[in-house]
Amino acid sequence: MIPYSRQNIEEEDITAVTAALRSDFLTTGPLVDKFEKAVADYVGSQYGVAVSSGTAALHCAMFALGIKPGDEVIVPPITFAATANSVCFLGGIPVFADVEPDTLLIDPSKIEEKISNKTKAIIGVDYAGLPCDWDRLRKIANDHKLALVADSCQALGAEYRGKKAGSIADMTAFSFHPVKHITTGEGGMITTNNQQLERKMRTFRNHGIDTDFRQREETNSWFYAMTDLGYNYRLTDIQSALGLSQLKRLPTFLEQRDRLAKRYDKAFEKNDAVIPLSTKIDCFHAYHLYVVRIDRKVIPRDRAFSELRKAGIGVNVHHIPVHLHPYYKTTFNYTRGLCPIAEQAFEEIISLPIWPGMKDKEIETVIQQINKVTEKQQL
């Protein structure tokens, strides 16, 4: 089976992790700081706060904003559930604003009608690796005095009008899960230029305690204060060693994803039944996912999916519109019809394999099989 995504681990990654294992710190040591600075520098942001997952990153961001029970946060339906879940963790209400039909990114023209006096923030999701229309999102956020958060878990390395994902919103969440651009096994980070938010997130990831063990050792003090109810969301030094080593190859990873995407684009120009999602000229697409719509008049997506799986192509579907999950239906009474554009797209989308290290022969096989599955039905 050719998977839709997979990690890229080289000997240098293994060497880096081994060295961390031989060092004095397995967790909360110098490599965490180094990794935070390296990611923050890379994206062009002042601070990076490393955490144990992309989900933890989003939870930290919502906590730092002070989201409380009953507060509303606007989110898109086409995303991984964790985006909206992070609002629910604090008792908040995720309010879904529908997506643009061609990119499946949150539609700025659908946001204002969803704003109420309880709205506190907007989370834009750089779905598949393509940045949202951040200038328009910023204007809406400013006009209504809302915080602007980016879920760029799929978009490390993406660029919007010359700015990297991670330097645009008030806070940006990244994930280092093995299917994402770089991995630490599990891991995540929030980047921000706001020192107050950064401090709150640092405390929150460490039980709500205002200093960490190493800082206390350095100042020879046993005193610490737990000021908030936080979690253990720390990233380890072992994981940071892997992250630092992976980050060095990120430019190469992005180039390879871009090259594979262009190859797919070209192949599907000749196949009317396979329509890639739109890209944007003012953005660099990080291509975490390569998503196409399958023309349902030619073959229903579900049949294309099972035929491709049978042929050894590890296609996937990203994502089930979040408001249609049973939890959201029962907790918030959300129903079909809330976001019609997302719901219709969901019936047609399929994610094709794309990852750095994917061989020419593998992408050729995928293209051949897609053409075969969508052609057969046309006869």
Which parts of this chain interact with ligand PLP (CB under 6 A)? 53-55, 79-80, 82-83, 125, 151, 153-154, 175, 177, 188
User: How far apart (Å, rounded) are the C-alpha atoms in residues 284 and 77?
Assistant: 23
User: How far apart (Å, rounded) are the C-alpha atoms in residues 170 and 7?
Assistant: 29
Residue nearest to ligand PLP (CB): 54
The CB-of-379 to ligand PLP minimum distance in angstroms stands at 38
Closest to ligand PLP by CB, 62 vs 273, is 62
Helix 237-248 crosses helix 250-268 at what angle (to 10 degrees)?
A: 60
Closest to ligand PLP by CB, 55 vs 374, is 55
Closest to ligand PLP by CB, 175 vs 239, is 175
The CB-of-173 to ligand PLP minimum distance in angstroms stands at 7
Closest to ligand PLP by CB, 151 vs 198, is 151
Contacts of 120 (CB under 8 A, 6+ apart): 65, 66, 67, 71, 72, 73, 92, 146, 147
The CB-of-154 to ligand PLP minimum distance in angstroms stands at 4
H-helix segments, the chain: 11-21, 30-43, 54-64, 82-88, 134-143, 195-204, 213-218, 237-248, 250-268, 301-310, 326-332, 340-346, 360-376
124 with 311: CB under 8 angstroms?
no
The dihedral through the CA atoms of 65, 69, 72, 78 has a sign that is: positive
The CB-of-217 to ligand PLP minimum distance in angstroms stands at 30
The CB-of-319 to ligand PLP minimum distance in angstroms stands at 8
The CB-of-53 to ligand PLP minimum distance in angstroms stands at 3
Closest to ligand PLP by CB, 154 vs 246, is 154
Helix 360-376 crosses helix 301-310 at what angle (to 10 degrees)?
A: 130
The CB-of-86 to ligand PLP minimum distance in angstroms stands at 8
Closest to ligand PLP by CB, 60 vs 274, is 60
Provide φ and ψ at 333, rounded to 5°.
Answer: 60, 30
User: How far apart (Å, rounded) are the C-alpha atoms in residues 369 and 213?
Assistant: 55
